[in-house]
Amino acid sequence: MGGNRARIRESGERLTVDFNGKHICVTGASSGIGLVTARMLVARGARVSLLARRKELLDEVVAELGANAAGFPADVGDKASLEAALDAAAAHFGPIEALFANAGLTGGFTPFTAFDPEVFAETIKVNLTSVFWAAQKVLPAMIEAKKGAILVTGSMGSKRGMAMNPAYVSSKHGVLGLTRAIAVEMAPHGIRANCIIPGFIRTEALDRIPDHQKGMIAARVPQRRMGEPEELAEVACFLLSDAASHVTGQDWAVDGGVLESIEVG
């Protein structure tokens, strides 16, 4: 592979990707999936811009990750705030070569007929419209460079209906469609776009629920366990890397088999 392609090498028993200084931006990076992925990217040689609302958490993460990480506080639901952070990231590390649009809201659970229209609008703005804004901001430099990757965090709600959460389901269906639209239009420019679909991943939010509910969730997974954030981050790193050079327009589930299985008996 050429000098701009990620190098793949054996490291112990795990095949890893060396990002060789590539500048990758991660939104929602101060906790959960975004944070674990950012750590993994830095460990594999990327320069990572971390965007999140909580500056104090960003400062702690950047101090942990070192010189190849930089934090830029931003509310992705505010176009001016998001674009200013992306500009600052590009000024710090150079043009953004890959974007992991991971920030999002759950939207809350309320019966459809009582669902707050303002919550619906805010969830769509943060989960879907912000991805459109971010992609519009970073794509011109990728088009000029004739390379790039965009990865969006979808949900099992991107593929299935879910009761009492119309905003979240609508937004996550939307990001899958948006990802595919970007993939088709940008493919001639050497730019890929994919959507990663987390299943029941053990994050701070899931860790807060009672143990008996965790057991009920795990029982719904064919593997009979929830996933670890590192397992999802491994796939995210692959999709952001040149090792996935012929993968675009895809929804890639990391769910232990939930979405594509029917169990009888």
- How many separate domains does the chain show? 1
| Within-domain flag for 205 | yes
Q: Which H or E run includes 114?
A: none
CATH of the domain at 170: 3.40.50.720
| Within-domain flag for 263 | no
| Within-domain flag for 120 | yes
| One pLDDT digit (tens) per residue for the chain, 265 residues | 344 444 444 444 444 578 999 999 999 999 999 999 999 999 999 999 999 999 999 999 999 999 999 999 999 999 999 999 999 999 999 999 999 999 999 998 999 999 999 999 999 999 999 999 999 999 999 999 999 999 999 999 999 999 999 999 999 999 999 999 999 999 999 999 999 999 999 987 777 778 888 888 899 999 999 999 999 999 999 999 999 999 999 999 999 999 988 766 5
| Residue listed under structure tokens 């929804």 | 251
**Could you tell me which residues come within 8 angstroms of residue 99 by beta carbon, excluding any fewer than 6 positions away?**
24, 25, 27, 134, 135, 138, 148, 149, 150, 151
| Within-domain flag for 6 | no
| Within-domain flag for 3 | no
Range(s) of the domain holding residue 236: 11-248
| Within-domain flag for 265 | no
| Within-domain flag for 4 | no
Catalytic residue among 168, 200, 238, 252: 168
CA–CA distance, 83 with 209 (Å, rounded to integer): 35
Whether the Cβ atoms of residue 101 and residue 130 lie closer than 8 Å to each other:
yes
Whether the pTM exceeds 0.75: the reply is yes
CA–CA distance, 16 with 55 (Å, rounded to integer): 31
CA–CA distance, 44 with 91 (Å, rounded to integer): 22
| Within-domain flag for 30 | yes
Answer yes or no: 168 catalytic: yes
